[in-house]
Structure 1
Amino acid sequence: MHLEHALLEVVLSHSNEGIHMVDTAGITRYYNRAAATMDGLEPEEVLGKHVLEVFPSLDKGTSTLLKVARTGKPIVDQQQVYTNFRGVEISSVNTTLPIFGQEGHLLGAVEVAQDISGTRKLAEQIIDLRRRLHSEDPATKGEQGARYHFSDIIGESRTLREVLTRGALAAHTESPVMVIGETGTGKELLVQSIHNASMRSHRPFIAQNCAALPESLLDAILFGSVKGSFTGAQDRPGLFELANGGTLFLDELNAMPFQLQAKLLRVLETGELRRLGDVRSRKVDVRIIVAMSADPRQSLRPDLFYRLNVVALELPPLRQRKEDIPLLCRHFIKRFNSRLGTRVQGVTPEAAKMLAAWQWPGNIRELSNCIESCLNFRSEGYIEPKDLPEHFHRPAEKLLRPELERLEKNMIFQAMNRTGGNISKAADTLGIPRQTLQRKLGKYKWHDICNKNNHQQKQEGK
């Protein structure tokens, strides 16, 4: 039992999330280092003291810990913005859970707080910048994010041309568009081209990656917030309002939690939205285009899927249109010659065969990376086999394992990001045991990466 307690103490004390536990009297019984850092305190200043003694700005009605310790009812994903005891503004998402004994008696409450200060600050700065740009120069609204046109999409293969033809036809309608394609196939190029060929081309084009933000923050970013909707909230329009009259592009929609999908569906069906915490509805006129790399039927609510899947465009992976590789190579050689000051003229037949034989799991983005790599080692003439990256020269059986590990790592990290770092939820999403996910998180150094990112955010905030 002593070993189990010691292990639990090590895990909790090294957690990246703040953990604060009180008994039913409101006395703090556990308070880890992450919570102390967020609050600008030392653990010794909090342990053994009543919550209201340490945090006098709270009361019995506003303290989520006291409320849950009193009612036994959990409070999930509560947003909070506050200034800590060192004068630093902190944004967090808190989940507060009751603690029950073996016989069902309420023993207290524990609060787990995730610091999203860096992410929230960046997202709000981007929204404020977009709002200022819109208000200062309305003539540039259509140019703020959509710079690609159908003529910029390179390829003559039949599969690609069919998609582009359908995309051009869809540009002249107002229906939602769903773009499906593997990572690196050029989904955003197609989306921007549709916007620029539409009647909304001179209106705003705004893009948001749904996998980049936790659920509670994504809600406020998309739909806006009103003052008082959560602690520290301000009146701020969301991306729907900023895109009014234009196009809103939601990338990686499959990462959007089901609760937000329901809210998105209501906006699509009614043309109205409510800001977070607001009581009144606001009309918006926005065309929605979404994109995802996974099967939408596996990750979208059925009602939302049928609402969005009016115009479905599936971009083929590069391995299914290898006849376009020579055209793409010429394009990238020209681009990187200009950028790097080189004078490479093309690709030798031998190197071209190796490029054609490759399966391109990273698609066009991988090909671009490959050509740029070659031009870092060759300043003129033609790209030869020896100029190609090392993995082109490995036996095929040695390539499979790292590629599978790369895909596995990406899937795991995406699941962790979508669930806000909740290992149990991520394991359910992936369909694997929690213990297996914990082992793989260690293998791919998930916690080290998170610690590094948190450290960088804190350094930037100093």
Structure 2
Amino acid sequence: MEILDLLPFGVVFIDLNWKIVGVNRNAADMLRREATAIVNLHWNDAFPDLLTEEIMNDAKAVFRFEYGGEEYIVQKVPYPSNKRVEGHVFIFNCVPFLEEVTKELDVYNDLNLDLKAVFDASYDDLHVTDGRGITLRVSPGCAESMGHKESELIGKSVYQLEKEGVFNPSATRQVLEKNEKVSMVQTTKSGRRLMVAATPIRDEQGQIIRVVNASRDITEESQLQTELERLKQLTEGYRKEIMNLRTKDELEHKLVFRSDKMEKVMVLVRKISEVDSGVLIIGDFGVGKELVASLIHKWSARSEKPFISVNCGAVPEAVLETDLFGLERDASGVREGKFGALEMANDGTLFLDEVEAMPLTLQAKLMQVIHEKMIFRIGSQRPIPVNVRIVASTRIDLEDSIQSGQFRKDLYFQLNIVSIPIPSLKDRREDIIPLIVYFTGQLNQNYGVNKKFSPSLLKKMQQYSWPGNVRELQNVVERLFVTAEDDWIETEHMQNQYPAGFSKQKIVQVNEIIPLKKATALLEIELLEMSRKRYGSSTKIAEVLGVNQSTIVRKMNKNNVK
């Protein structure tokens, strides 16, 4: 009976003997009697002469009666129990209340007609859901854009429609998740692209009770946008190419050397520039590997096409994959497309710096590109043909990485058709002073001064090992140049700006007097251990130390150098 008390009309239950067995609160109020006072009474005892005998005998009847100065409309219906009629139910309400409800229904019907007219005539497509995402109404244009009839959409949740691919993503879902208005590009199952503005409608407590989506078909505009994006990407590729062209004339001037070792490197660079074979440049940090790669490109038949450089060790794997292979613009337009380095370097040269840092998954994809000469942007199944020469660099022995399973053997052979070892600065000390003079000349030209390094400082700088190679040398020259107040840069300037051990460093340190034979043996062991750590292979160690490989192997075994 508690549930019946919530009903907005009167309800009275009467058994077959016309005994009152139940009364809800509204019925008791309208009949002006306490429910407990009339329950179990015969109807005529509780309300004598209120109903005619004809009405009482009619199984179903709709009739009126007056009581307490109010007129009521009553519907009498039987109520079954165990498939048998056990009595009747009187359902009634006062006439003025029902007339008011009828008027409100008429207003509602009129509003419904007006709303339908608005939906049908709207330039925008409209889609309305309740606060749970259940579709309540769609305009004819919206149904057409989604490729479904209105009857197939009404009553379905946006979660279900999104899962079925009717539209993606769901603007209504995002409104309900973010609790705010959302604007986005949506793609329908029929291939249309819609610009959607989804607006939440709230009740007095701020809860979302409706979500109204207004959308407009922008398929043609999206196609134009795609072409515009492609032109932007091409422009960026050409911009990089122009920057490379501007610096081509400067490359040879930046490569300053006097040593025979670098002369041999340049002879090899010119020779391999004439072919398209894979090249692996080997050298420590700062020796100028990218500069050498740029010269290979400049002196090649591809020199009029882009030279694109990617540092494989500078970014995470996901970013590196995007940088190399590009990114397809997604259907919703939320994610912009991007040209990858392989695509931008088409017909030109791609330089892969620190190739040893490339993850195995990307190594496999790169091998596929080398063999098939085509790429797939991330998020796309459309093949893009590419014609790229790949020049790679490393600072470690890749054969060790192959043994440890960190680098693919097939990729190593593909890249290492020709290898170019770049000697460290300490192994070509005759290049140090020419480089200092070159860097100083550039700075003098930039700042309009005429500073010079003293001969004594040049000599000490030539003796230094320069672990950071040419890059470190260039930084130190500039630091001394801008901090020294005099035109002559002296040794004391270096001691003020650089570690104290710089001026005292010698190539060989002698700490105590020992027999010459023993000193020679110790120096030999130290050289072997240092070379083993730096170069790894006995072939490379023999080349650096200037002896035969068999000699290196014999001496390493003799001195137990592992």
> TM bucket by the smaller chain?
0.5 to 0.7
Q: Contact (CA 8 Å) 1:223, 1:275: kept in 2 or not?
A: yes
Q: Secondary structure at the match of 1:376?
A: helix
> How far does residue 331 in structure 1 lie from its aligned partner after superposition?
0.4
Q: Give the Cα–Cα distance (whole angstroms) in 2 for the partners of residues 354 and 85 of structure 1.
A: 69
What is the match of residue 225 of structure 2?
Answer: none
Q: Give the Cα–Cα distance (whole angstroms) in 2 for the partners of residues 57 and 369 of structure 1.
A: 61
Q: Secondary structure at the match of 1:184?
A: coil
What is the match of residue 343 of structure 1?
Answer: 450
Say whether 1:218 aligns with 2:320: yes
Instruction: Give the 3 Å change call, closer, same or farther, for CA 310–136 of structure 1 in structure 2.
Output: closer
Instruction: Give the 3 Å change call, closer, same or farther, for CA 293–58 of structure 1 in structure 2.
Output: farther
Instruction: Structure 1 unaligned segments of length 5 or more: list them.
Output: 1-51, 63-82, 89-126, 400-462
Q: Give the Cα–Cα distance (whole angstroms) in 1 for the partners of residues 332 and 247 of structure 2.
A: 30
Q: Deviations 1:371-400 (Å, cap 9, x if unpaired)? A: 11221233554321111154756247999x
> How far does residue 246 in structure 1 lie from its aligned partner after superposition?
0.7
Q: Contact (CA 8 Å) 2:233, 2:338: kept in 1 or not?
A: no
- State which structure, 1 or 2, has the greater radius of gyration over its C-alpha atoms: 2
Say whether 1:292 aligns with 2:399: no
Q: Secondary structure at the match of 2:484?
A: coil
Q: Give the Cα–Cα distance (whole angstroms) in 1 for the partners of residues 501 and 450 of structure 2.
A: 31
Say whether 1:307 aligns with 2:409: no
Q: Give the Cα–Cα distance (whole angstroms) in 1 for the partners of residues 291 and 410 of structure 2.
A: 27
> How far does residue 351 in structure 1 lie from its aligned partner after superposition?
1.1
Letter in 2 for 1:250: L
Q: Give the Cα–Cα distance (whole angstroms) in 1 for the partners of residues 359 and 331 of structure 2.
A: 20
Q: Give the Cα–Cα distance (whole angstroms) in 2 for the partners of residues 59 and 342 of structure 1.
A: 74
Match of 1:325 among 428, 432, 436: 432
Aligned length: 287
Q: TM-score, normalised by structure 1?
A: 0.55
Q: Secondary structure at the match of 1:207?
A: strand
> How far does residue 241 in structure 1 lie from its aligned partner after superposition?
1.2
Q: Give the Cα–Cα distance (whole angstroms) in 2 for the partners of residues 260 and 174 of structure 1.
A: 22
Instruction: Structure 2 unaligned segments of length 5 or more: list them.
Output: 1-132, 134-156, 164-176, 183-229, 506-562
Letter in 1 for 2:235: R
Q: Give the Cα–Cα distance (whole angstroms) in 1 for the partners of residues 447 and 159 of structure 2.
A: 58
Say whether 1:131 aligns with 2:234: yes
Letter in 2 for 1:339: N
Q: Give the Cα–Cα distance (whole angstroms) in 1 for the partners of residues 481 and 255 of structure 2.
A: 22
What is the match of residue 280 of structure 1?
Answer: 382
Q: Contact (CA 8 Å) 2:425, 2:466: kept in 1 or not?
A: yes
Instruction: Give the 3 Å change call, closer, same or farther, for CA 342–148 of structure 1 in structure 2.
Output: closer
Q: Give the Cα–Cα distance (whole angstroms) in 2 for the partners of residues 180 and 234 of structure 1.
A: 37
Segment drifting more, 379-388 vs 304-313? 379-388
- Equivalences for residues 35-434 of structure 1 within 5 A: 131-134=234-237, 140=242, 143=245, 148-228=250-330, 232-297=334-399, 298=401, 299-345=406-452, 347-390=453-496, 392=498, 394-395=500-501
Letter in 1 for 2:464: W
Q: Give the Cα–Cα distance (whole angstroms) in 1 for the partners of residues 181 and 486 of structure 2.
A: 57
RMSD: 3.8
Q: Give the Cα–Cα distance (whole angstroms) in 1 for the partners of residues 312 and 331 of structure 2.
A: 22
Instruction: Give the 3 Å change call, closer, same or farther, for CA 380–307 of structure 1 in structure 2.
Output: same
Letter in 2 for 1:341: G
Q: Secondary structure at the match of 2:420?
A: strand
Instruction: Give the 3 Å change call, closer, same or farther, for CA 293–146 of structure 1 in structure 2.
Output: farther
Letter in 2 for 1:331: Y
Q: Give the Cα–Cα distance (whole angstroms) in 2 for the partners of residues 137 and 384 of structure 1.
A: 41
> How far does residue 58 in structure 1 lie from its aligned partner after superposition?
8.1
Letter in 1 for 2:309: A
Q: Give the Cα–Cα distance (whole angstroms) in 2 for the partners of residues 171 and 315 of structure 1.
A: 16
Q: Secondary structure at the match of 2:308?
A: strand
> How far does residue 228 in structure 1 lie from its aligned partner after superposition?
4.1
Instruction: Give the 3 Å change call, closer, same or farther, for CA 137–317 of structure 1 in structure 2.
Output: closer
Q: Contact (CA 8 Å) 2:495, 2:502: kept in 1 or not?
A: no
Q: Give the Cα–Cα distance (whole angstroms) in 2 for the partners of residues 353 and 386 of structure 1.
A: 14
Q: Give the Cα–Cα distance (whole angstroms) in 1 for the partners of residues 283 and 264 of structure 2.
A: 14
Q: Contact (CA 8 Å) 1:148, 1:189: kept in 2 or not?
A: no
What is the match of residue 439 of structure 1?
Answer: none
Instruction: Give the 3 Å change call, closer, same or farther, for CA 183–128 of structure 1 in structure 2.
Output: farther
Determine which structure has greater relative contact order: mean sequence separation of CA pairs < 8 Å that are 6+ residues apart, divided by chain length: 1
> How far does residue 279 in structure 1 lie from its aligned partner after superposition?
2.2
Instruction: Give the 3 Å change call, closer, same or farther, for CA 174–228 of structure 1 in structure 2.
Output: same
Q: Secondary structure at the match of 1:260?
A: helix
> How far does residue 149 in structure 1 lie from its aligned partner after superposition?
3.3
Q: Give the Cα–Cα distance (whole angstroms) in 1 for the partners of residues 243 and 455 of structure 2.
A: 46
Instruction: Give the 3 Å change call, closer, same or farther, for CA 57–359 of structure 1 in structure 2.
Output: farther
Segment drifting more, 185-194 vs 381-390? 381-390
Instruction: Give the 3 Å change call, closer, same or farther, for CA 218–144 of structure 1 in structure 2.
Output: farther
Q: Give the Cα–Cα distance (whole angstroms) in 2 for the partners of residues 350 and 269 of structure 1.
A: 56
> How far does residue 170 in structure 1 lie from its aligned partner after superposition?
1.0
> How far does residue 249 in structure 1 lie from its aligned partner after superposition?
1.1
Letter in 1 for 2:448: G
Instruction: Give the 3 Å change call, closer, same or farther, for CA 327–398 of structure 1 in structure 2.
Output: closer
Instruction: Give the 3 Å change call, closer, same or farther, for CA 128–190 of structure 1 in structure 2.
Output: farther
Q: Contact (CA 8 Å) 2:313, 2:357: kept in 1 or not?
A: yes
Instruction: Give the 3 Å change call, closer, same or farther, for CA 230–391 of structure 1 in structure 2.
Output: farther
Q: Contact (CA 8 Å) 1:180, 1:315: kept in 2 or not?
A: yes
Q: Give the Cα–Cα distance (whole angstroms) in 1 for the partners of residues 162 and 454 of structure 2.
A: 74
